[in-house]
Amino acid sequence: MSTGDRKPFVGGNWKMNTDSEGARALIGGVGGIGGGDAEVVVYPPFPYLREVAADISSQGSRVVLGAQDFRHEPNGAMTGCVSIDMLKDCSVSSVLTGHSERRHVIGETDSLINAKTKAALDAGMQVVLCIGELLEQREAGQTDAVNERQLRAGLEGVDEGSLDRVVIAYEPVWAIGTGKTATSADAQDAHAKIRSVLASMYSKEAAGKMRILYGGSVKPGNAEELFSMPDIDGGLIGGASLNAEDFGAIVSATRASIKRG
Ligand code: PEP
């Protein structure tokens, strides 16, 4: 499959970490990367979105601002929630849906994840839809079935015309924040199957253009090998995105995925 059309993507999911000073230091450290051969998006916690947006703008940075979560309904009576319009007001243009911590800790269902994905796309946002199996599902040989179910459910009702704003992140749950990483061969196998499910849902051409990221303990030392796999188009990075130097090294490793084009 030709991969020349797919610009590598690296997302930095800061999760529920850092403070105001730390957020500004982090964006100061990574502000100079992105925008060239790789698309780089950071996902800070809500309270720091505005100051990170201001720093991105004042630095003339090409790093893009994303948000980790949102409520899919319009502004109104929904105590404690943040709407897509509020995110747009903070210069956010990319959101995560289906992250394993929201699926398995908060309890978000496939149908809620689908509602969020569609609402964000309808509002013109980019969506990184996260999928991936639990350890027991992997051990039971269900990895591909789980990925297919989460993919089909998450993208139900999403038309092919919106796919240029959809990125898929394959994140085996047992690899997130654990220091365990899928082997590059296992990850490639899962990514190739995800791409073939996308081809059967849409078209081979559309699937060939979609970015599929790997996430789960990506570090500077393993990024290049993972990104050199033909169906791995970058990564969604948690822990290592909290260190500007490590995150920069991971972004640099995407050159491995550009070369193959
Ligand atoms: C993530 O939060 O999506 C993630 C992959 O985390 P980590 O890189 O820490 O495993």
CATH, residue 49: 3.20.20.70
Region class of 157: left (phi > 0), else alpha (psi between -120 and 50), else beta: left
193-210 mean pLDDT: 97
Does 216 contact ligand 1 (Cβ within 6 A)?
Answer: yes
Please tell me if the CB atom of residue 13 comes closer than 6 angstroms to any atom of ligand 1: yes
Higher pLDDT, 233 or 257: 233
Asked if 168 and 210 count as a contact pair (C-beta separation under 8 A), the reply is: yes
Q: Which atom of ligand 1 is nearest to the CA of 130?
A: 3
| Euclidean distance between CA atoms 102 and 107, whole angstroms | 6
215 Cβ closer than 6 Å to some ligand 1 atom:
yes
Cα–Cα distance between 237 and 171 in angstroms, integer? 10
- Tell me the whole-structure pTM to 2 decimals: 0.96
**239 in contact with ligand 1, CB cutoff 6 A:** yes
Whether 75 has a pLDDT exceeding 70, the answer reads: yes
Q: Indicate whether 256 belongs to any domain.
A: no
State residue 80's pLDDT score: 97
Q: Evaluate if residue 2 carries a pLDDT over 50.
A: no
Please indicate, yes or no, if residue 182 is contained in any of the structural domains. yes
Asked if the structure places residue 253 within a domain, the reply is no
CA distance 219 to 169: 16
User: Does residue 255 sit within a domain?
Assistant: no
Nearest residue by C-alpha to atom 4 in ligand 1: 238
The CA distances from residue 172 to 74, 184, 189, 236, in Å, are 32, 13, 13, 12
pLDDT of residue 3: 47
Q: What total number of domains does the chain contain?
A: 1
Instruction: Show contacts of 218-225: CB within 8 Å, 24+ apart.
Output: 218/181, 218/250, 219/246, 219/250, 220/246, 220/249, 220/250, 220/253, 222/181, 223/249, 223/250, 223/253, 223/254, 224/253, 224/256, 225/184, 225/256
DSSP state of 83: B
Which of 14, 17, 237, 250 for mutating ligand 1's site (highest number of atoms within 8 Å of CB)?
Answer: 237
Task: State which ligand 1 atom lies nearest to the alpha carbon of 176.
Answer: 10
Atom of ligand 1 nearest to the CA of 215: 5
Q: Has residue 261 been placed in a domain?
A: no
Residue 53 is assigned to a structural domain of this protein: yes
Nearest Cα to Cα of residue 259 among 214, 215, 227? 227
